[in-house]
Amino acid sequence: MKKTHQGFILLTMAALVVMGVWFAGCTTPTTPAPPEKEKVLLATTTSLYDTGLLEYLKPMFEEQYNAELLITSQGTGKALEIASLGDADVLAVHSPSLEKAYMDSGKGLNRRCFAYNYYIIVGPESDPAGIRGMEPVAAFKKIYELGTAGTPGIQLVSRGDNSGTHNEEKAIWKAAGYNYTTDIQKSGAWYVEAGRGMGETLQLTNEKQAYTVSDEGTYLAYKGDLDLIPLVDKGDILLNLYSTIAVYNEKFTPEEIAMANNFVNFMISPEIQEEIGKFGVDKYGKNLFSPMSGECSQFDCDCTSPATETTPAAA
């Protein structure tokens, strides 16, 4: 009887060992799920987006901050309007006057300039208006005089969308002594308002063999498909400054604002400034943008201070 009892105990212990081994084999250590990526909505301009720079930088930002960067592009005016409604987290735009008004409204944080290039006036190689090598203001005056006189082959295609480029065009008209609303708009068939992004405006200009104002970066990106050449590319008024701004909205969480600030800091960081300076060289033979690289005092903007503010100064 004693042997039977001992045998039962041994069998029971063996069964427990087998079950333990089985359970050990069937269970694996649980691996914590990776943290969910935070979505960041960037509202930007077609002039910047069409060059491909933001798509180039996107994976670098996403990896560094475990984020998903969603990009929507339109003219600067529309981008600022979207941001004002709280439908964007951060901006990358290029119209200093509109940007400053936006900041003054208390809806923007930590505006930092990160790059620049120049606007150019492009047109057909035949240059029927004869503006090649002129100063921008003189070139616009000549196009206006010939266009309003009905000279064949003279047309100027405008973005017509309150974008940074459109505002640059209006600034040149103002410097030339014209009232944009009364003298230029609807002044004849010579003046065409495209209402399109920069790439599409260049394509329309090409179809019409007309003139237009373009940022240099987008022109270089589309150059291979165009029969247009730069005719005017000198003059202080042609400076094209790019900035990034974190969006403030009282409904945004501190975490959302912090991530927008991360994007601002990302764009002005030395590593990304170097990437911006290299972008386009391999494909176009020159960089599409000049990075600030910490030297921006001549542009009346901040390109070095870390983005730390989480509420507007007036808030």
pLDDT of 187-238, one tens digit each?
999 999 999 999 999 999 999 999 999 999 999 999 999 999 999 999 999 9
Chain-centre distance for alpha carbon 45: 5
- Gap between the Cα atoms of 163 and 146, Å rounded: 26
**233 and 243, same domain (yes or no):** no
Mean pLDDT, the chain, rounded, equals 90
- Report whether pLDDT(12) > 50: no
Please report the pLDDT score of residue 5 as a whole number: 46
Banded model confidence at residue 172, pLDDT cuts 50, 70, 90 = very high
Q: Domain span at residue 232?
A: 118-238
- Give percent above pLDDT 70 in the chain: 89
- Report whether pLDDT(15) > 90: no
| DSSP calls for 70-137 | EEEEE-HHHHHHHHHTT--SEEEE--HHHHHHHHHTT-EEEEEEEEEEEEEEEEETT-TT--TT--HH
- Report whether pLDDT(266) > 80: yes
Please report the pLDDT score of residue 29 as a whole number: 54
What average pLDDT score do residues 6-23 get?
46
User: Cβ atoms within 10 A of the Cβ of 300, count?
Assistant: 10
Please report the pLDDT score of residue 21 as a whole number: 42
Q: How far is CA 251 from CA 44, 258, 311, 312, in A?
A: 21, 14, 12, 14
- Gap between the Cα atoms of 147 and 129, Å rounded: 9
Residue 26 lies in a domain: no
**143 and 177, same domain (yes or no):** yes
User: Residue 64: CA atoms inside 13 Å, Cβ hemisphere, count?
Assistant: 15
Residue 283 lies in a domain: yes
- Report whether pLDDT(27) > 60: no
Please report the pLDDT score of residue 33 as a whole number: 65
Please report the pLDDT score of residue 127 as a whole number: 98
**136 and 231, same domain (yes or no):** yes
Banded model confidence at residue 99, pLDDT cuts 50, 70, 90 = very high
Residue 20 lies in a domain: no
Please report the pLDDT score of residue 22 as a whole number: 43
- Gap between the Cα atoms of 40 and 188, Å rounded: 43
Say which residue, 47 or 127, is predicted with more confidence. Answer: 127
Using only the alpha carbons of the chain, give its radius of gyration.
29
Please report the pLDDT score of residue 72 as a whole number: 96
**149 and 61, same domain (yes or no):** no
**87 and 189, same domain (yes or no):** no
CA 102-105-107 angle, to 5 degrees, is 75
Please report the pLDDT score of residue 309 as a whole number: 96
Please report the pLDDT score of residue 199 as a whole number: 94
Looking at the structure of the chain, the number of domains it has is 2
**149 and 78, same domain (yes or no):** no
Q: What is the pTM of this model?
A: 0.84
Structure tokens at 298: 């001549």
- Report whether pLDDT(9) > 70: no
What average pLDDT score do residues 79-85 get?
94
Residue 51 lies in a domain: yes
Please report the pLDDT score of residue 1 as a whole number: 42
Please report the pLDDT score of residue 36 as a whole number: 86
Closest alpha carbon to 229 in 248, 245, 210? 210
Please report the pLDDT score of residue 30 as a whole number: 61
Say which residue, 191 or 300, is predicted with more confidence. Answer: 191
- Report whether pLDDT(157) > 50: yes
**126 and 231, same domain (yes or no):** yes
Q: Residue 263 is part of a domain; what is its CATH number?
A: 3.40.190.10
Please report the pLDDT score of residue 10 as a whole number: 45
Please report the pLDDT score of residue 18 as a whole number: 44
